[in-house]
Structure 1
Amino acid sequence: MTRALNRLSAAALKTAPVGKHADGGGLWFVKRQDGGAQWVLRVTAHGKRREMGLGAFPDVSLRDAREAADKWRAVTRNGKNPIKERQRAKREAARNMHMLADIALDAFESRKAELKGDGKAGRWFSPLELHVLPKLGKVPVAEIDQRDIRDTLAPIWHDKADTAKKAMNRLSIVMRHAAALGLEVDLQATEKAKALLGKQRHTVTNVPAMNWRDVPAFYQSLGDSVTELALRLLILTAVRSYPIRFIHVDQIDGDVWTVPAAAMKGRLGATSDFRVPLSTEALRVIAEARKFARDGFLFPGLRKGVISDMTMTAFMDRRGLAERPHGFRSSFRDCTAEATNTPREVAETCLGHVSGGAVERAYRRTDYLEQRTAIMGRWSAWLTGLTGHVRFMGSQR
């Protein structure tokens, strides 16, 4: 029986004439006129005779061809069509060979519409790009398990806890995206990885903020470059850096700047824009910034777009300051708490914060624009030296 199945020899294949040569059991060596050769297996599946190619010779050796023939004969004996089974296996292999980097980019593209500025700043993608993809980017997503994720994020799990959390969150979204694409992935891999990594030991630290009493001196030391004008407006309005960097002339109407809801973190409502009262000094800064405007943006970058989120921070670094631009919001809030009796809800609204419970907010429709206009005007006067006494705001009740 063995001789009936294995009729050919490796040596004979090299000198075989043109034609079909049987090795037995339906395996044929086919020599063509052009000198090439290939392997063909003949089987009977579902009552029909079929031929399936097993590859070209000599890429597929005699031994390889016999092993493949044995495999597909067994499939046929189990009542399956070997040709269709091979096609199905190829499709599954193709689905499962998608690399994590490709899936991550596809997930990012799918979510851009939900992100600020269509995600052009790259903040959503950067935790993956910096801390996950360098190690796992070229790994098929179907092969990634909790141990891979643990080993990848372990170096930053405690030392850079916030970044690690973001990376884990983004990776979880990417895994779900892969599953939605029909790929075989472990949707629990990130949760299992968290269990392996353990509870984070990170202690939250606040953004360094300048003492509110020192802010006027810093403000008055600023010049009129694009970066310094941006810092001036940030301090004057107590708005976050993102809306400042992307402020557009079309958003300004008289002495009110309307920040689109999409640019407001923690905005007052899912679709609510945020009105910012502009003091006389803020309007002066905006007038100066208009000289530098490009495509309507008041604070353009050197080559394209707007200034980056690190531009103002780098300026403060060059001044030898540990404080950060975002900290001026805290400076303003501390001032309203320590030097005034401004109602809490008004002070919080100045920062664009949501205050009060859901029911309270449903009935409170005002954004306190009139009160905030007065507060920001007095804050501006304090910053520019027009008001010398710390209790410059008085009662707002």
Structure 2
Amino acid sequence: MTRPIYKLSALAVKAAGPGKYNDGAGLWLHKRQDGGGQWFLRITVHGRRREMGLGSIADVSLKEAREHAEQWRAFARKGFDPIKEREKQRREAERNLHCLADVALDAFESRKAELKGDGKAGRWFSPLELHVLPKLGKVPVSDIDQIDIRDALRPIWHSKGETARKAINRLSIVLRHAAALGLDVDLQATEKAKALLGKSRHTPQHIAAMPWIDVPEFYRTLEVPTTTNLALRMLILTAVRSGSLRFMRYNQIEDDVWTIPAHQMKGRLGQTADFRVPLSDEALRIVELTRPFDRDGFLFPGLRKGVISDMTMGQHMRKAGLPYRPHGFRSSFRDWIAERTNAPREVAEISLGHVAGSQVERAYRRTDYLEQRRQIMGMWAGYVTGEEEAIDENF
């Protein structure tokens, strides 16, 4: 093969002004106004002229540019498109560079907007961080198969069933994220791993809930207006989650409605709207009782800073010798609705902040049943305080 006759020299490359310069055999230099420049190769493949960048003159010398050009001309002579071939090589290289830990973090970052508080609590990522990444984090994501996943999760599959379920679901999301990045992964690996692991023997433990019939007696024990007692009373009266309650602010209350910002609701996909909670007369009385404790606009401030902790109310109940948890009052409230009212299911579920009905039903429903829920909350407050209101015939 005839050796190309080159036209440029290293000195000429350095001294050249702005413009395009042909070195020969399709290798060109494009010099810019700022003194920088790029190498590129003009080549014909399958009757089409292609231009292929070979790097900047700051990183690639004239000698290296000629070597790269000859390498890609050889591919073209064999009938391969050098640009597509380089892209193929790049993807193959990335396959070995993208370890699971990096892809998992990237997937987490991309989902933060869907998670409560941008996922700062760590609950989305922690199952992976604790049970998958220590064993598979450094493995290229394209190499991970069902055997790897099975071996990583087998120690907790039967003993920590819920955690294992979350871990394998999160891992499935990470693999889909890797596929979206263009990496070659087995999207069925997690389902295959489940088949290998078998059905979990773990029996989920439901949160212990106080029977609704016992709630009034417990409510009476909270008469002393401490921050913890007032928080528990408001938790019972509103049936919200403790996370929303702890961050309750005075400026979120207008008349008898407390509006919980969407980001303070439970982090679930599709939770984009604020949630209105009707406050009974008893709940409004509790609001006034919290005024002496006001700090930074919070109804239930912590002892030194911030707000009351998530454990404070639970500790109070344990010290009282009760086997129940604060979150269980939501179940107490739901059971009371079922036993003592005729409220429609969708009204009862929305009272708890749950998504009710199918996606189509929710698309056409434009109400949050505030008026019906206002009556239910008034009836519930009357029940827990021992001053039960008359039950409307509609409920």
* TM-score, length-scaled by structure 1: 0.68
Amino acid at match of 1:116: K
AA aligned opposite 2:349:
E
Who is 1:339 aligned against? 340
Q: Which runs of 5+ in 1 are unaligned?
A: 1-43, 50-74
Is the contact between residue 342 and residue 395 of structure 1 (CA under 8 Å) also seen in structure 2? Answer: no
Q: CA deviation at 1:149?
A: 1.1
Superposed counterparts of 1:191-340, under 5 Å? 191-222=191-222, 223-265=224-266, 271-301=272-302, 306-340=307-341
Distance of 2:319 and 2:163 partners within structure 1: 25
Report if aligned partners of 1:153, 1:164 keep a CA contact under 8 Å in 2.
Answer: yes
In structure 2, the gaps of 5 or more residues are 1-65
Q: Give secondary structure in 2 for the equivalent of 1:326.
A: helix
Shift of 1:239: 1.4
Offset of 1:166 from its aligned partner? 1.0
* CA distance 1:114–1:90, shift in 2 (3 Å): closer
Letter in 2 for 1:218: F
- For the residues of structure 1 that align with 2:349 and 2:105, how far apart are their CA atoms? 37
Match of 1:113 in 2: 113
The share of aligned pairs that are identical, in percent, is 69
Answering whether residue 144 of structure 2 is matched by residue 144 of structure 1, we say yes
Query: Quick one: distance in 1 between partners of 2:343 and 2:68?
Result: 85
Cα 1:213/1:94, change in 2 over 3 Å: same
User: Which amino acid in the other structure matches residue 352 of structure 1?
Assistant: G
1:160-175 equivalences in 2 (<5 Å): 160-175=160-175
What SS does the corresponding residue of 1:298 show, helix, strand or coil? coil
Aligned residue type for 2:195: A
C-alpha displacement at 1:375, in angstroms?
Answer: 2.5
Name 1:96's counterpart in structure 2: 96
Larger Cα-atom Rg: 1
What is the aligned partner in structure 2 of residue 63 from structure 1? none
Measure how far apart 1:243 and its partner are: 2.0
Q: TM-score normalized by structure 2?
A: 0.68
Alpha-carbon distance in 1 for matches of 2:153, 2:96: 23
The answer on 1:186 being equivalent to 2:186 is: yes
- Whether the aligned pair in 2 keeps the contact of 1:101 and 1:137 (CA below 8 Å) is yes
Supply the AA of the counterpart residue of 2:238. Answer: T
Deviation, 1:340, is 3.5
Counterpart of 1:396? 394
Cα contact 1:293–1:300 (8 A) shared by 2: yes
Aligned partners of 1:238 and 1:329 also within 8 Å: yes
CA deviation after TM superposition for structure 1 residue 257, in Å = 0.7
Residue aligning to 1:372: 373
1:177 aligns with 2:182: no
Partner amino acid for 1:376? M
Aligned-residue offset at 1:330: 1.5
Give the aligned residue type for 1:396: N
1:346-365 pair list within 5 angstroms: 346-356=347-357, 365=366
Contact 1:343–1:396 under 8 Å retained in 2: no
CA apart distance, 1:153: 1.0
Q: Does the 8 A contact of 2:313 with 2:326 survive in 1?
A: yes
* Cα distance in 1 between the residues matched to 2:119 and 2:305: 16
Whether contact under 8 Å (2:247, 2:298) holds in the other structure is: yes
For residues 157 and 253 of structure 1, do their structure 2 counterparts lie closer, same or farther at Cα, with a shift above 3 Å needed? same
Query: What is the CA–CA distance in structure 1 between the aligned matches of 2:68 and 2:117, rounded to whole Å?
Result: 58
After superposition, residues 23-102 of structure 1 pair within 5 angstroms as: 92-93=92-93, 96-102=96-102
